């Protein structure tokens, strides 16, 4: 089996359980802040399964950045695509956002902005760390 696939599956399985934990915390907050908040068994089941899969894919998707023969653009593009499709499907299936073009457009804009901020932050930290390490090596 391909090492990247093994890493994807391993990371996914290790971190997948965090999805339903986060979902449960959100539902507890909603229950304590929204009067008469309730969920059906089907809604709870769908949320557990979909957030488990979402966390699995999100954790596993980090392997794209380690495929050395891929360009950075391809790695980031695959990572972005996997996360975007996973989040949109999860949110739509759970009816956390309605299936309306305007809502999906707003969700997309927020997702793209959030993704860009995270990647810009990571890039700046890695660049700064690299410069610092290079200065230390030159001494």
> pLDDT of 25-48, one tens digit each?
988 998 999 999 998 999 999 999
Q: How confident is the model at residue 51 (pLDDT cuts 50, 70, 90)?
A: very high
**Overall pTM surpassing 0.95 (yes/no):** no
Report pLDDT for 42: 92
For 124-138, write each residue's pLDDT tens digit: 999 999 999 999 998
What b/e sequence results for 90-124 when a residue is b if at least 16 CB atoms lie within 10 Å of its CB, and e otherwise? bbbebeeeeeeeeebeebeeebeeebeeeeeeeee
Report pLDDT for 17: 86
With H, G, I as helix, E, B as strand and everything else as coil, classify residue 22. helix
Domain boundaries, the chain: 1-96, 99-139
Asked if residue 82 has pLDDT above 90, the reply is yes
Structure tokens at 84: 């975007």
Structure tokens at 68: 């050395």
Report pLDDT for 1: 63
For 4-30, write each residue's pLDDT tens digit: 889 999 988 888 888 899 889 988 998
CB-based contacts of 80, cutoff 8 Å, min separation 6: 115
Report pLDDT for 15: 85
Distance CA 135, CA 139 (A): 7
């Amino acid at each position: 089996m391909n090492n990247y696939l093994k890493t994807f599956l391993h990371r996914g399985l290790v971190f997948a359980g965090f999805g339903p934990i986060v979902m449960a915390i959100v539902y507890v907050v909603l229950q304590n802040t929204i009067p008469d908040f309730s969920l059906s068994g089907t809604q709870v089941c769908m949320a557990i399964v979909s957030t488990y899969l979402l966390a699995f894919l999100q954790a596993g998707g980090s392997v794209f950045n380690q495929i050395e023969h891929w360009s950075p653009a391809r790695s980031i593009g695959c990572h972005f695509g996997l996360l975007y499709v996973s989040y949109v499907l999860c949110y739509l299936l759970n009816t956390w956002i309605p299936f309306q073009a305007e809502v999906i457009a707003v969700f997309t804009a927020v997702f793209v902005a959030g993704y860009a901020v995270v990647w810009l932050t990571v890039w700046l930290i890695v660049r700064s760390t690299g410069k610092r390490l290079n200065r230390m090596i030159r001494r």
